[in-house]
């Protein structure tokens, strides 16, 4: 919808007619800057006694936002108006964090100030180390992330008052700064190696590689190609409009819960294989396919309605065209493999062949299923030697900048109120209480559990 057309729509309303009762309800149209306009239904229930119904929110805008714009048909992703490909080519993750939080790219002075602020918050309270000890060594690192990030609110009380702008900013900086430290410690804990402290003379991505792969007994030189690839990975995962985990953070935050608890809720939601857990699931799927000859078998499986198997890394709620992040990720995968001298990565070969077959398959074409951000990211992370179960931790590290920016925007939104969706009730109508002796003899347990 172009600008001119939008101005024509100013104060346009849609009318809902109830012909049976000769009633009608006005639904005002609200224009966005770009992209779909919205129908304001906030008074519909009060006026009509009707709810709208949209499981999965396929046609529902939950908020207004200035942070990220996605056009799923054209494969467009912009942060504060800047295109994702231009940011990947010209910017870095710290700049993008600033952009998401503050609304524009930083001046060189503000950039220095911001990166210095973040570097001052990279350590975590030493007491938190004991929390790791409570986990089994083979605990999934995402379980540790949910626990430790949620526990930050027990250590950083001085930045939990969500009504204090200064505390909101400190909490935002703390979360962006501490996520790599917490994630790297989860990895070190799992392999029984000593934790490596952050080093403030390294960049954000260099620091993370250092905390992950350095050992106290040896000098560690950060490979710049790998840290640059990681920085791009974080940019590509920084924010993505109102996805499941971001909506979780917003909903948690709408009750005025503290920011650490809200981000822990976002981490929990991201972990699902239908969402951020897909990068780990892609590698597991490619490993299971194991050879190009078996690709068609798996494509068939993914189309079988009775089979829960989905082609991981394919499809997207919004992108009905190629996910712009996937193409950047694919090029970065080739850069990393070349840098590491990995001539033929069997998983990459299977991924490329799988993509080629799927993109020419009627079913995938008809359902507009393209590779998403997760399809190639695992190839990069595996090549850099991250264990598969750390992939979603890296997604969470990158996405924390988006989550906390969306949380901040929500808290600062004057119309913000606690999120409380309604439902379509399809359960029993009123039934009088029955004493046990008068109840049916059939046992639900027998049917479901105790055969
Ligand atoms: C992320 O929202 C975001 O922005 C998320 C994200 C972000 O940055 O935050 O982009 C990150 O989560 C990327 C997505 C990662 N997940 C996966 O790769 C898992 C595999 N993909 C699917 O689970 C699925 O595509 C979803 C969950 C991503 C999207 O699901 P939708 O939008 O609810 O679509 P759907 O499940 O209703 O699918 C529509 C049709 C269905 O067939 P019909 O019922 O219409 O016959 O397409 C089919 C689905 O069966 N389908 C697939 C498929 N994905 C959808 N069939 C086979 N393989 C797939 N991957």
pLDDT tens, N- to C-terminus, the chain (451 residues): 334 344 455 579 999 999 999 999 999 999 999 999 999 999 999 999 999 999 999 999 999 999 999 999 999 999 999 999 999 999 999 999 999 999 999 999 999 999 999 999 999 999 999 999 999 999 999 999 999 999 999 999 999 999 999 999 999 999 999 999 999 999 999 999 999 999 999 999 999 999 999 999 999 999 999 999 999 999 999 999 999 999 999 999 999 999 999 999 999 999 999 999 999 999 999 999 999 999 999 999 999 999 999 999 999 999 998 899 999 999 999 999 999 998 888 998 999 999 999 899 999 999 999 999 999 999 999 999 999 999 999 999 999 999 999 999 999 999 899 999 999 999 999 999 999 999 988 777 776 665 5
> What is residue 79's three-state secondary structure?
strand
Residue 30's CB: how many other CB atoms inside 10 A?
14
Residue 81's CB: how many other CB atoms inside 10 A?
13
Residue 372 Cα to ligand 1 midpoint, Å, equals 9
Mutational test site, ligand 1, from 310, 355, 362, max ligand atoms within 8 Å of CB: 310
Q: CA 264, CA 344: separation in Å to the nearest integer?
A: 38
* Paired residues of 68 in beta bridges: 79
How does strand 23-30 pair with strand 38-39?
antiparallel
Residue 319 Cα to ligand 1 midpoint, Å, equals 10
Residues 29, 38 contacting (CB under 8 angstroms): yes
Residues 129, 196 contacting (CB under 8 angstroms): no
Q: How many helices (H) and strands (E) does the chain have?
A: 20, 6
Query: What number does the ligand 1 atom closest to the CA of 315 have?
Result: 25
Cα three-residue angle 84-72-10, rounded to 5 degrees: 100
Residues 72, 320 contacting (CB under 8 angstroms): yes
Return the structure tokens found at 140. 């999934």
316 has catalytic annotation = yes
83 has catalytic annotation = no
Q: CA 339, CA 232: separation in Å to the nearest integer?
A: 15
Q: CA 29, CA 14: separation in Å to the nearest integer?
A: 7
Q: CA 439, CA 441: separation in Å to the nearest integer?
A: 6
| DSSP H or E run through 153 | none
Residue 388 Cα to ligand 1 midpoint, Å, equals 21
Residues 41, 52 contacting (CB under 8 angstroms): yes
Residues with CB under 6 A from ligand 1: 56, 240, 243, 274-276, 278, 302, 310-318, 367, 369, 372-374
Q: Give me the residue label for tokens 């060189």.
A: 108
Q: CA 7, CA 254: separation in Å to the nearest integer?
A: 32
Return the structure tokens found at 92. 């870095």
Residue 179 Cα to ligand 1 midpoint, Å, equals 27
Of 168, 179, 310, the C-alpha closest to 253 is: 168
Question: Could you tell me the pTM of the whole model?
Answer: 0.94
* Paired residues of 23 in beta bridges: 18
Query: What number does the ligand 1 atom closest to the CA of 276 have?
Result: 12
């Amino acid at each position: 919808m172009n600008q001119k057309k939008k101005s024509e729509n100013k104060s346009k309303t849609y009318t809902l007619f109830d012909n049976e009762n000769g009633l009608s309800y006005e639904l005002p149209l609200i224009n966005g800057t770009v992209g779909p306009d919205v129908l304001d239904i906030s008074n519909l229930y009060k006026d009509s006694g009707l709810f709208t119904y949209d499981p999965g929110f396929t046609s529902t805008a939950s908020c207004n936002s200035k942070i990220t714009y996605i056009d799923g048909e054209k494969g467009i992703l912009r942060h504060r108006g800047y295109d994702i490909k231009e940011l990947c080519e010209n910017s870095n993750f710290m700049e993008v964090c600033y952009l998401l939080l503050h609304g524009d790219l930083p001046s060189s002075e503000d950039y220095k100030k911001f990166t210095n602020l973040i570097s001052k918050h990279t350590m975590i309270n030493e007491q938190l180390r004991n929390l790791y000890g409570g986990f089994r060594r083979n605990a999934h690192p995402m379980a540790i992330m949910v626990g430790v990030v949620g526990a930050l609110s027990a250590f950083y009380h001085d930045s939990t008052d969500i009504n204090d702008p200064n505390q909101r900013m400190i909490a935002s900086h703390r979360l962006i700064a501490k996520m790599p430290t917490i994630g790297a410690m989860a990895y070190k804990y799992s392999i029984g190696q000593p934790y490596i402290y952050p080093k403030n003379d390294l960049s954000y991505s260099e620091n993370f590689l250092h905390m992950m792969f350095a050992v106290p007994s040896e000098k560690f030189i950060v490979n710049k190609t790998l840290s640059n690839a990681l920085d791009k990975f974080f940019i590509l995962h920084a924010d993505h409009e109102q996805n499941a985990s971001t909506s979780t953070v917003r909903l948690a935050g709408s009750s005025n819960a503290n920011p650490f608890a809200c981000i822990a809720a976002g981490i929990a939601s991201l972990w699902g294989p239908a969402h951020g857990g897909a990068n780990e699931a892609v590698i597991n799927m490619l490993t299971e396919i194991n050879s190009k000859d078996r690709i068609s078998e798996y494509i068939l499986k993914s189309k079988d309605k009775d089979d829960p198997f989905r082609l991981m890394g394919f499809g997207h709620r919004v992108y009905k065209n190629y996910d712009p992040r996937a193409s950047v990720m694919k090029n970065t995968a080739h850069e990393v493999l070349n840098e590491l001298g990995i001539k033929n990565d069997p998983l990459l070969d299977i991924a490329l062949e799988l993509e080629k077959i799927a993109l020419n398959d009627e079913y995938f074409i008809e359902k507009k299923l393209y590779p998403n951000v997760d399809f190639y990211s695992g190839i990069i992370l595996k090549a850099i030697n991250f264990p598969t179960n750390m992939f979603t931790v890296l997604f969470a590290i990158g996405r924390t900048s988006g989550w906390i920016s969306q949380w901040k925007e929500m808290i600062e939104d004057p119309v913000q109120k606690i999120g409380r969706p309604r439902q379509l009730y399809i359960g029993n109508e009123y039934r009088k209480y029955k004493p046990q002796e008068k109840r049916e003899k059939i046992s639900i347990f027998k049917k479901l559990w105790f055969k």
